[in-house]
Structure 1
Amino acid sequence: MSEESALVRSLRGAVAAAPEDVPLRLHLAELLLEAGQRDAAITEVAIALQHAPGDEKARELMGRAMGTPAPAQQTSAPAQQTPVPAQQGPAPAQQAPSPARQSPTPGRQSPATGFDWQAAEGQVRDVVPPRFVESPLRADGNDDPGGADAWEVDAPGTVRLADVGGMQDVKDRLEAAFLAPMRNPELRKLYGKSLRGGLLLYGPPGCGKTFIARAVAGELGAAFLSVSVNDVLDMWIGNSERNMHEIFATARRQAPCVVFLDELDALGGKRSRTQHSGMRNTVNQLLTELDGIDAQANEGVFVLAATNLPWDVDLALRRPGRLDRTLLVLPPDAPAREAILRYHLKDRPIENVDLGKLAKATEGLSGADLAHVCESAAETALLDSARTGTVRMIGMKDLLGAAKAVVPSTEAWFSSARNVAMFANEGGTYDDLLAYLKKRRKL
């Protein structure tokens, strides 16, 4: 018995070293079965069947371990088959021929062999993992749960333009070019102004274009549907266009609704520079949706878009009737910087902080840069408190030091925009940017 146990242990080690060696594993299972270790033998045979589902020897050994006869062998030499003990039933050669040659269905009893597959499945359920854990997608990807149908439209928010600190020039231009006609239905009717429109917000990153878009939706009392390139593009041909259509169909059902197209340069880039036909088709679909099926299709749908690279946006998107109005969103002015700093410092321990002085010291920084200044100052005070063991407040020294260390993230954008404003300002598209650069002596 000890010699047999040593052999089994050696085989276990060999199987562990070569887990996909089916003959070796079946040899171990046969020794275990002869040694009376029936459950261990069933486990090894089940794993072997997982690697080789059609292995006849494995199926025959599983039948022996389960106490049932093996299925009939499809061979012309029945004398080489392993004999079945008399108490287990008649030999395979005495059974009816054709039904035994079919693969039994799990959970049913084979009519020819009497093998209970449901019982066998129950015994090896905890040993053999399921082959598939989820149903496969359809060939066209329509079962993908991440499509446009899964989106939720935000209800009309409470954010208003009054919540945007400073930036009075931006608010005035928004009011004159976009909001005033929408707020006065009688004047709109008198002058034949449709309750639809498109506005493109552009400027350096981190300056609050998304927040302004939400504030516009709040001013209009409209639902808000934010869209990015990841929400639209799909690996399946035709699905990107379908997603774009579903976006606008959802907005029309939820009207009044603001559709916010974030990073428009990625979603509606110039088709002349696009090599992939799928991306060109997506831009074509966007143009179709902006035009609407008929004159009233997009009534109550307001399209706002934001981009850092307006010169990369397809020119057809900026044609009259689509995104025909543009608004430059620049780094926050002094009142806006003060409001942003107050917001980011309100829940932190501060003392003797002069927000007016700090706002002057942070000129040229974007809203994201200002948030980083507050974060860095808080980190400095925290490390000092950890070193000394005494909690101290955040002071002006911390904030001014952090502001001095931060390089404005807008500089790289202005370097690129300067060339566009000077040499590619067709039709005066970037006159407001050119005026700002002259005012700030950045030309």
Structure 2
Amino acid sequence: MFGYYVELAVRSLRRNPVLTGLMVLAIAVGIGTSMTTLTVMHLLSGDPLPGRSEHLHYVQVTPYPQDATPTHPSEVMDDRSAMDLWKAKRADQQALLVGSTIKVHVPASTSPPLLLSMLSTHADFFTMFAAPFEYGGAWTAEDDEKHARVAVISSDLNHRLFRGENSIGKIIRLRDSDVRIVGVLKPWRPSPLFYDVYGGRMAHGDTADFYGKIEDVMTPFQSGLEINDGNFVQFTCWQLPPSPGHLQNAPCLWVRLWVRLQDDAKVAAYRRFVADYAAQQKAQGRFRHDLTAVPSLMEWMTSNRVVPGDVRLQVWLAFAFLAICLCNTVGLLLAKFLRRGADFSVRRALGATRGAVVMQCLVETGVIGIAGGLLGWLFTLAGLWLVRQQPVPYADMVRLDASMFMTTFVLAVTTSLLAGALPAIRAGRVAPALHLKTL
């Protein structure tokens, strides 16, 4: 019976191609607009590390001795607090992070130095955040302890300096220090740059840096501090540091700490540990406040408003436009089905039930939805191409993945069936006697 209804639907749609085209176009335009914005939203708000993010946590304390009452813990911490928490070794894995810019060049090269970004961190960083390697691997915990002069470089930098060849063991100069390459990352573009998210709340949703590229050079934490001493930028200071950029043991916030905690019991224990540490520092007079937090990765991204506000607004506006398109489709379907009242009356006279008539109409609207979904998919591809031309930091990453491809057709068929429900019910309630008298 379903195949018969599909055949009837195709015949009906062919009889009036203009009306059919208008309905398909209305659905397609609404689907294309909404799916374009929904795809961008999906990219920006999705879990960057499925299966891992619930175990990764960002550590917050409030080390600055200010009189004002803060409403939330500090987004970054001072060097002393960060080292205290890191040296306690209470997490399954942990990594301190600080960023800076540094001059990079190959000692034997005549090319001018490159001014690039550098991340100073710990060996656990790479396994915690599932960083993929093309050549070599991460340095070891022993390298961290020995302040070894080693580095992991990005795929982009490897292509710029060594034309993409295996550069393990080669030497690059960071500022005035020679370091040995131990690892080269594969092309890696986390979306967002989750390990570097902070300050979104204070920046009032300015999320431009959340979708940048990874650092070109990564070094052991203490090695990076020694190599680039004097060139680190503080987030804020409550006193002037001894000298700009020299921030170790300075009254400044500039260090971040990420930890991996494998289960809920460890999360609870680590939160107690951080709270006890803050209370102890407050009792000693070093902290004025004992506010702490250990949010998970997704909680941390949410609190920093990783998804730009204008994207959320665009999604709402796009779905409002889709609703308008569906209202127009409802009107066209209502006119179409009521005009076929005589056909439905004959079917009813031959024994068809109201439910059969309703089902016939819904199958027809489903066919319209599939056609609208196909055209809407093309409109979505065009819309995403237009997004990629915009001057926004995440533009080059906007693509339609398999899940959003399927969502396009599911949304098209679902919305078309919703639009056709009222006209189908009205068609099923047409009194056969009124039309049979005129035949």
TM class, shorter-length:
under 0.3
Q: TM-score, normalised by structure 1?
A: 0.20
Quick check: which one's strand share is greater?
2
Q: TM-score, normalised by structure 2?
A: 0.20
Bigger Cα Rg: 1
